[in-house]
Amino acid sequence: MPTKASAKPKASTKSTKVKDINLKINNIDISVPAGTKIYDAARKAGFSIPTLCYLKGICNDGSCRICVVEVKGEKNLVTSCYAAVREGMEVFTTTQKVLKDRKITLELLLSDHKVDCPSCPRAGACELKTLSNQYGCDMNRYPGKKNEYQIDDSSGFLVRDNNRCILCRRCVHMCNKIQSVGVIGVNHRGFHTDIGQAFEAELKDSPCVACGLCINVCPVGALTEKDDTQKILDAIQDSSKHVIVGVAPAVRVALGEEFGHPIGTDVEGKMISSLKMLGFDKVFDVSMAADLTIMEEGTELLHRLHDEDAKLPMITSCSPGWVNFVEYYYPELLGHISSCKSPQQMFGAIMKTYYAEKFELDPKNIFVATIMPCIAKKTEILRGSQATADAQDVDAVITTRELARLIKKASIEFNKLPIGDWDNPLGVGSTAGLIFGTTGGVMEASLRTLSETINKKPLKDLDFKKVRGIEYIKEASVDLDEIGKLNVAVVHTLGEARKILEQIKEGKSEYHFIEVMACSGGCVGGGGQPIVCSDIINDNIDIPSARAKAMYSKDKKSGSRKSHENPIIQEVYREYLGEVGGDKAHKILHTKHKKRIRHP
Amino acid sequence: MSAFVDTVEQKEQLDAVLSDLKVVKGSLMIAMQKAQEIYGYLPKEIQERIAENLSFPLEKVYGIATFYSQFHIHKPGKYKVGICMGTACYVRGADLLLKRVEEITGILAGQTSENGLYTVEATRCIGCCGLAPLITVGEEVFGNINADDVNRIMENYKE
Amino acid sequence: MKTLQQLQEIRDKEKIRMSIRENTGECVLTTVKKSVLICGGTGCVSGSSKITRDEFKARLKDHNLENEIEVIFVGCFGLCAKGPIVIIYPEGTFYEHVFPKDVGEIVDTHLVGGQVVKRLENKEAYDDGRNKPLFETQFYKAQQRICLKNCGHIDPENIDEYIAMDGYLAYPKCVKEMTPEGVIDVIKASNLRGRGGGGFPTGRKWEVTAKAKGDQKYIVCNADEGDPGAFMDRSILEGDPHSVIESMMIAGYACGATMGYVYIRAEYPIAVQRLLMALHQAREYGILGKNAMGLGHEFDIEVRLGAGAFVCGESSALVTSIEGHRGEPRQKPPNLAVEGLWGKPTALNNVETLANIPQIILNGADWYSSIGSPGNTGTKVFALGGKIVNTGLVEIPMGTTLRTVIEDIGGGCMNGKKFKAAQTGGPSGGCIPAELIDTPIDFDSLTEIGSMMGSGGLIVMDEDNCMVDIAKFFLDFTVEESCGKCTPCRIGNKRLFEILTRISEGKGEMKDIDEMLELSEYIKRDSLCGLGKTAPNPVISTIQYFKDEFIAHIKDKKCPAGVCTALLQYIIDKEKCIGCTLCIRKCPVDAIKGELKKPETFEVIQEKCIKCGACEPACKFKAILKV
């Protein structure tokens, strides 16, 4: 938050240009715009300051006290993540006093923390562990009573172990401020303060939409995904099972981070090889199913546009966190949600029907696993409307993080792997399907197909730049023959999506078609993606965009950039589904959404 | 613990309060205080109604209810016995009064007896330091007392 | 709406009626011949003074005297130790410990019969056959009442009586004769400092608020008096609520705010009710609201109740609580004067601070700054409590020594015990040892000796109080009341409390003392808000002044004051014991054995003893010893 001019009475109000402030950080002269936090000024001067609660754009409570620095003339230490610079200020970030106090802070946190580092799933990326190590902490310095909590593993997607929680409140802000869900919050007070749901309800009995973003911001191992890797290993071991794995678009541009690659590295080929080495019978790209979604969703939109009674705008349904959100909080608007299954569910449905038939397999003996950047996908596989009677469309979901864990557990030397290829048939998607993994991608893929199929001429430029980028709400209009101007919007994060829903509720929405993704930046920033240390986030690095960039550059170079031209898709309709949006397609690829009770 | 039931009258009162408060800035706590006046405590059903009407997540209401010591989530006992633990009372032996009250009621501070008769609370200074040490039963204040006086006082609150 | 002229008429008329309370001993020319003032402060109400009042009214009616003798329920007189108090004017007879059962006698003997009821009369207030004016008695003599001027003198539920005491004169003076800057200049010149604890200059706070940019500004009155043992704010609101309302109006004019909030503890039902009544009356008279008193300004006040969280006394937490959230403090700066309630510039003042304002406006900054000492001007109200004879509320000029307060005003320790220490500043303050009894009480002197003014609780401790236990008591309070947001306060204070507990149980080590001091200094440096930053003060000051007591607990495993139960042992003095077995029968855990009439067989089984102390008073021969 920028400090206001009124904080310094002498500031000139004439010029709109922000004045520069001169100060010294550890005796280094530096000049930064007025309003800059000491933390940022220090980084500019080349000094990183540790943080446990501060997370740029999300949490700035100043509660952990680890980022304190000494300021000449101040009696007490100053919170660098919150305090703004002043002219002539002299800041010291590593004096004896500062280091000593940070050490005490860490030791106090450790004194009320379940120190089970060797078995903690976060051990590798735990910010508390890293700092405690750096500061040479004695974990038994302050022996005393620890709070004891029951581990909440009631839900099928997330485990909360408050014994490890250090009350930084990043998750609370993520859930409340960014997502506007507010299912978790700070309860009780003093030493007994904890994070949890109303009336200490278990997560399964709470209106959590399962976006999982709280996990990504947790500096310790208090929040983790429900680990389903064993289910996968069991299936692979079971000789009666034909085990298929489908990989979501966003996984390949993030998995590399777990193996030391820079953010935004595309490791698709190595990833495919590793999956084959893990023993999957078939390794497919879920982008293919994304292409199917484009076909079905586009057709549904056209139906709605031609039907006066149909609900408009139509909103995408591929983000399960988003669908959960509407079912819990805006059930009256469910009619606006496309009835299409998500690409994951379409993928599973096609495997259990078309693929099973084609290869004469009993759907019950096919085990479909997916690798997703997403936590909510773990809830999605349990929805109704499965394509076959006795089997789920998808049997198990693991996240990008869990896949990395599997690869490491199998002692596969990831970085030495050769480039592998997707299996055929059904293995390959267009890059229109690939960009589903980022905010704006579904809309762009859709616009490519809608334009070409309706206007019946090829697009000169396939790039719809207006729907790209990290802006929260993006708008565009496209001219379509017969239909006229199609107004579209692209939204990410649930907090922003709520605004769009409120507009619809008030009858003020002028859009025809809206893409919503629950997570910040879309699936590339999903709750199942590799955890990025807050030090990097606080250095103004936009992680979702870096990952998305890898997708867009692949798309740019690709020879297959349109869903409707994907030969596999054409074959599936020709051989099996029949008409796009037809009865059979509906039965297999569509679903129903229904209201959910928030507090049973 | 008995299940929550509310009368038509209580429900109407709360509805009126909530509809008035919809337009008031920062009204959540006021709503909770008024609801507690009506019901004596804030069970889940009531917190849900407040959350729903004022458009807050239930967790937000619960977070507030568990922050402030005057909000009760469980039904309090028929007699609320408070032992003032202000400094003036403490230096004059309030802890002995508390111990005696706990002995008599068989419950610890912060608890409600199973028969629903007593809720014992170690309260903050109630500002009657001239009467230290003291206990309160409901609205009644008993000051300048010792532990044996507690037995005598509690005789009047047995059923 | 009343015009200024009409207010003046009320003032003139009421002044005559109320002159009877001037202690002149004369009847004035009104229909009212006598005035019975009954204390309606919380302390006395707890002693049934409400019933006493009703009883007086009923009895006077029986005698057809209800028009001649008025019964007024006033605010706190201050001398709570003698409560419930009744004073009868014009003769100024001071009755103490008056309960409903005594009313008949006072009515019959005094009001009807004209004879003073000797057994209820305060001994000191009667001298050489005449009633000494109240303010000549030992308790009141060294006091100077500015904030408490009207407390115990007017009926707080009657706006006319406030008007009669020159109430609602200061606000029109500001608006008609002064600019907002002019008002701020007067407050600045008076050197008034915030009475809530921090001592920040009030005028400067107003100035920053006035200069801050904002389409809306707020005045907030902090009446969330949470310091245990402090009740001056409550007493002011109970005894003189209009003075706070008028001050907030003045603050509103000076700072450019049209809306004010009073955030008051819900534990103060009488204060809340009187404040609400006062607001209602002020609105009815057109004193509050749009175009107040026809002077062209707008100001209104809303009351918000606290819900039991000490931390809400911290300004940013209080504002957060008014907004309807968990009352957690936030980082400062920006200060509230720049970014306060709902993000708008907000001047937040405590009740006692505000109660000074009308007097400063009416009497001038020079008058005010001549009281006390430079930099510490005016008076301060203290709540005297603990082991002192005259518990109650006192208002003294700044700079009065602790000795004056404890020995002269307070009458010394109860039961002739030795004064050991005084605690000021509540959980944020420290203990002042007996050797520093000549310290002048003001902001700077108290800070210098490691305590602080705080909101004005002054708790006296004698030789029977253990300082380790006192430090533990305050830490326990802070741990309970910590909001839990920042690490140093949430976990640091808890660990500090645990170390103290270990010491009080005889499990401490000498290195614990340094460990506590280090942790304390850390908590002070690193906590997010004032509550955390000051929480270790009681620990630091007790170690500073009473280190030997800590050492006794640690090294000798003894509690010199005999308070820490884990270090106590009850033993039987076989010389004094006669073997009556009364102690055996009293012991709830069968920890005493012995045969009837055989003192030599009596023994306390230490492993079984829970140190409840039941045996000690049971023994008629003082044969049970606490060692």
Indicate the pLDDT class of residue C26, thresholds 50, 70 and 90. low
Q: Which residues contact B91 (CB under 8 A, 6 or more apart)?
A: B132, C385, C386, C387, C459, C460, C461, C465, C470
Q: Are C537 and C450 in contact (CB under 8 A)?
A: yes
| Residues B85 and B149 both lie in one domain | yes
Instruction: Taking residues A571-577, report their average pLDDT.
Output: 95
**Mean pLDDT estimate for chain B:** 90
* CATH assignment at residue C456: 3.10.20.600
Strands (E), B57-130: 79-84, 118-123
CB contact, 8 Å: C68 with chain A?
A: no
Partner-chain contact A181 B57, CB within 8 Å: yes
Indicate the pLDDT class of residue A3, thresholds 50, 70 and 90. very low
**Phi (first) and psi of residue A143, to 5 degrees:** -65, 145
| Residues C206 and C349 both lie in one domain | yes
pLDDT of residue B2: 52
Of chain A, the percentage scoring pLDDT greater than 70 comes to 97
Quote the domain boundaries for residue C402: 373-462
Number of H helices, E strands in chain B: 7, 4
CB contact, 8 Å: C383 with chain B?
A: yes
Instruction: Taking residues A32-53, report their average pLDDT.
Output: 96
Does some domain include residue B12?
A: yes
Instruction: Taking residues C407-433, report their average pLDDT.
Output: 91
Residues 161-180, chain C, touching B (beta carbon < 8 A): none
Q: Can you give the three-state secondary structure of C318-346, one letter per residue?
A: HHHHHCCCCCCCCCCCCCCCCCCHHHCCE
Q: Which residues contact A162 (CB under 8 A, 6 or more apart)?
A: A147, A149, A151, A152, A194, A195, A196, A222
Instruction: Taking residues C568-596, report their average pLDDT.
Output: 89
Q: Are C331 and C187 in contact (CB under 8 A)?
A: no
Query: For tokens 């419930």, what's the residue?
Result: C84
Write the residue in A185, A598, A599 that is nearest to B63 by C-beta: A185
pLDDT of residue A137: 97
CB contact, 8 Å: B68 with chain C?
A: yes
* CATH assignment at residue C494: 1.20.1440.230
Closest chain B residue to A186 measured between Cα atoms?
B63
Domain boundary among B20, B36, B65: B65
pTM beyond cutoff 0.90: yes
| Residues C175 and C287 both lie in one domain | yes
Question: For B42-100, how does the pLDDT look when each residue is reduced to its tens digit (9 = 90+)?
Answer: 999 999 999 999 999 999 999 999 999 999 999 999 999 999 888 888 888 898 899 99
pLDDT of residue C20: 85
Quote the domain boundaries for residue B149: 79-154
**Nearest CA distance, B118 vs chain C (angstrom):** 20
Report which of residues C82 and C360 the model is more confident about.
Answer: C360
A117 in helix, strand or coil? helix
Q: Are C282 and C309 in contact (CB under 8 A)?
A: no
Q: Which residues contact A235 (CB under 8 A, 6 or more apart)?
A: A241, A243, A367, A369, A395, A396
**Nearest CA distance, B38 vs chain C (angstrom):** 16
CA–CA separation, C169 and C368 (whole Å): 17
Closest chain C residue to A83 measured between Cα atoms?
C333
**Mean pLDDT estimate for chain A:** 94
**Nearest CA distance, C182 vs chain B (angstrom):** 33
Among A556-570, C34-48, C440-454, the range with the most confident prediction by mean pLDDT is: A556-570
Domain boundary among C442, C462, C482: C462
Partner-chain contact A6 C213, CB within 8 Å: yes
Instruction: Taking residues A406-425, report their average pLDDT.
Output: 94
Partner-chain contact C486 A111, CB within 8 Å: no
pLDDT of residue B139: 82
Partner-chain contact C43 B125, CB within 8 Å: no
pLDDT of residue A8: 38
Q: Which residue, A410, A418, A391, is CA-closest to A280? A: A410
Q: How many domains does chain C have?
A: 5
Indicate the pLDDT class of residue A389, thresholds 50, 70 and 90. confident
C-alpha distances (whole Å) from B113 to each of A297, B116, C35, C612 are: 60, 5, 48, 23
Question: For A458-502, how does the pLDDT look when each residue is reduced to its tens digit (9 = 90+)?
Answer: 999 999 999 999 999 999 999 988 888 999 999 999 999 999 999
Q: Give me the domains of chain A, ranges plus CATH numbers.
A: 5-11+20-94 (3.10.20.740), 118-225 (3.30.70.20), 230-589 (3.40.50.1780)
Between β-strands C379-386 and C392-397, what pairing exists: parallel, antiparallel or unpaired? antiparallel
Residues of C in contact with A191 (CB under 8 A): 479, 482, 484, 490-491, 494
Residues 38-77, chain B, touching A (beta carbon < 8 A): 44, 47-48, 56-63, 66-67, 73
CB contact, 8 Å: C324 with chain A?
A: no
Indicate the pLDDT class of residue C141, thresholds 50, 70 and 90. confident
pLDDT of residue A120: 94
CB contact, 8 Å: A505 with chain B?
A: no
pLDDT of residue A571: 94
CA–CA separation, A493 and A222 (whole Å): 23
pLDDT of residue C586: 83
Does some domain include residue C435?
A: yes
Partner-chain contact B57 A182, CB within 8 Å: yes
| Residues C337 and C222 both lie in one domain | yes
Write the residue in A185, A188, A189 that is nearest to B59 by C-beta: A185
pLDDT of residue C24: 61
Does some domain include residue C563?
A: no
| Residues C386 and C357 both lie in one domain | no
CA–CA separation, C361 and A178 (whole Å): 50
pLDDT of residue C110: 92
pLDDT of residue C136: 81
Indicate the pLDDT class of residue A435, thresholds 50, 70 and 90. very high
pLDDT of residue B25: 86
Partner-chain contact A188 C484, CB within 8 Å: yes
* CATH assignment at residue B149: 3.40.30.10
CA–CA separation, A267 and A264 (whole Å): 9
Q: How many domains does chain B have?
A: 2
Residues of C in contact with B129 (CB under 8 A): 43, 80, 229, 231, 383, 385, 391
Q: Is the per-residue pLDDT at C316 higher than 60?
A: yes
Chains touching A by CB (3 or more pairs below 8 Å): B, C
pLDDT of residue C374: 85
pLDDT of residue C28: 58
CA–CA separation, C253 and C170 (whole Å): 12
CB contact, 8 Å: B151 with chain C?
A: no
CB contact, 8 Å: B91 with chain C?
A: yes
Q: Is the per-residue pLDDT at C169 higher than 80?
A: yes
Does some domain include residue C149?
A: no
Between β-strands C346-350 and C218-223, what pairing exists: parallel, antiparallel or unpaired? parallel
Indicate the pLDDT class of residue A9, thresholds 50, 70 and 90. very low
| Residues C207 and C356 both lie in one domain | yes
Instruction: Taking residues C306-327, report their average pLDDT.
Output: 94
**Nearest CA distance, A495 vs chain B (angstrom):** 13
Q: Are C432 and C402 in contact (CB under 8 A)?
A: yes
| Residues C547 and C402 both lie in one domain | no
Indicate the pLDDT class of residue B143, thresholds 50, 70 and 90. confident
Indicate the pLDDT class of residue C30, thresholds 50, 70 and 90. low
Report which of residues C451 and C577 the model is more confident about.
Answer: C577
C-alpha distances (whole Å) from B88 to each of A142, B125, C145, C549 are: 32, 8, 23, 21
Write the residue in A64, A66, A144 that is nearest to C494 by C-beta: A144
Indicate the pLDDT class of residue C588, thresholds 50, 70 and 90. confident
Question: For A281-328, how does the pLDDT look when each residue is reduced to its tens digit (9 = 90+)?
Answer: 999 999 999 999 999 999 999 999 999 999 999 999 999 999 999 999
pLDDT of residue C160: 95
Of chain A, the percentage scoring pLDDT greater than 90 comes to 91
Q: Is the per-residue pLDDT at A87 higher than 60?
A: yes
Residues 219-238, chain C, touching B (beta carbon < 8 A): 225-231, 234-235
Does some domain include residue B1?
A: no
Instruction: Bin C152: left if φ > 0, else alpha if -120 < ψ < 50, else beta.
Output: left
Q: Is the per-residue pLDDT at C98 higher than 90?
A: yes
CA–CA separation, C292 and B93 (whole Å): 50
Residues of C in contact with B30 (CB under 8 A): 304-305, 324
**Mean pLDDT estimate for chain C:** 92
Report which of residues C96 and C136 the model is more confident about.
Answer: C96
Instruction: Taking residues A503-521, report their average pLDDT.
Output: 95
Among C19-28, C34-43, C224-233, the range with the most confident prediction by mean pLDDT is: C34-43
